[in-house]
Amino acid sequence: MATGSVTDLRSKIHSSHTRNSGPLNKKAHQKNDSYYAKKSAPKSKYDDYNSEEKEQELQKVKSGIVQHRLFSEEQCKQIEKKIDKVVKLSDLGLYKEHTVDRAPLRNKYFFGEGYTYGSQLAKRGPGNERLYCKGDVDEIPDWIHKLVVRRLNDANIIPEGFVNSAVINDYKPGGCIVSHIDPPHIFERPIASVSFFSESALSFGCKFTFKPIRVSKPVLTLPLSRGCVTLLSGYAADHITHCVRPEDVTARRAVIILRRVRDDAPRLEIPTEMSSPCRKRIMPSLYNCSDSEDSGDNSSSSSSSEDNVKHVKVNSKVICLSEESLKEGKGATPNGSPKSMKR
């Protein structure tokens, strides 16, 4: 996915402050500069901690974090090509509605399980997140199992059969995710993630304010290198928020988050709306494509190209013609075209 035309969020913030900096607005601009200098970052509750309390909090967070450098340069490149393919399929409209969640500088791709959060919640607040109905998001692609999950299993990082939910977060420069705790009534622990494309950082204990986005000083900023596996559990997963700050995403970055949905996790009671009549469907040739590349050799066949994906639109009308009506001409309109009936 090309990012050359994408404007860094920080540049947008800067331009919003400086666009009215002509002579007539110089005084107002200086006043704004003074205001934002004072308001450069919000305060969190941790800012009021004394040095001993801050150190205790830091150690609690660190106790719930484990990192492994597991993926090589070549393995990263192989997985990054697969992530690019997910983006392409999404752009073609070949995923279910709730598989893809788009934001200005960050896209999420849910596989296996998806859930409502943030502005999607009927009732706001932690604990109100709900899983979508079964089948509302696409299944976890085979390549995630083969290229990512299996390596974590083989390294005894997570047990075999643990993962039933995979999410790809694809960030553009300046993208972010605000402070949150992965809902414990939805997901078991640990939460595993693997970083790709570029280096970034995960911050703990931050407070966000908006218009423009500003972030308080973190309790801990955890470096995330390309190919690094990070596991969160205990205090780091359940008792302090984590986020990705805009200033820590300086280039395109993606993360694959691997989790296990609890057996007793609540689901939406009312089934989500069925796909629209004109929704594109994936033909069988799609399922026969990319996973043939996962066997280990880098040879590609013609069946692995997106060129072979056929886009089919399902019309909202069904032509109803019986054999007898065809013979008698009852099923034709005056211009000779068949009648149609709405579903």
Give the phi and the psi of residue 220 in degrees, each rounded to 5: -150, 135
Is 115 a residue of the active site? Answer: yes
What is the C-alpha separation between 233 and 64, in angstroms, rounded? 5
What is the C-alpha separation between 268 and 182, in angstroms, rounded? 18
Annotate 15-52 with b (16+ C-beta within 10 A) or e (fewer).
eeeeeeeeeeeeeebeebeeeeeeeeeeebebeebeee
Alpha-carbon distances, residue 257 vs 30, 108, 283 (angstroms): 44, 10, 28
Place of tokens 């050799």: 297
Count of CB atoms situated within 10 Å of the CB of 272? 15
What is the C-alpha separation between 252 and 22, in angstroms, rounded? 34
> 3-state DSSP call for residue 295?
helix
Q: How far is CA 128 from the centre of its chain?
A: 20
222 within 8 A of 151, measured Cβ to Cβ: no
What is the C-alpha separation between 53 and 181, in angstroms, rounded? 21
The catalytic residue among 95, 109, 115, 132 is 115
What is the C-alpha separation between 237 and 65, in angstroms, rounded? 9
CA neighbor of 185 nearest in space, from 290, 115, 236: 115
Considering only the C-alpha atoms of the chain, give the largest distance between any 2 of them, rounded to a whole number of Å. 92
Alpha-carbon distances, residue 57 vs 46, 74, 105, 219, 233 (angstroms): 9, 38, 31, 8, 15
Amino acid making up residue 214:
R
Catalytically active residues, by annotation: 115
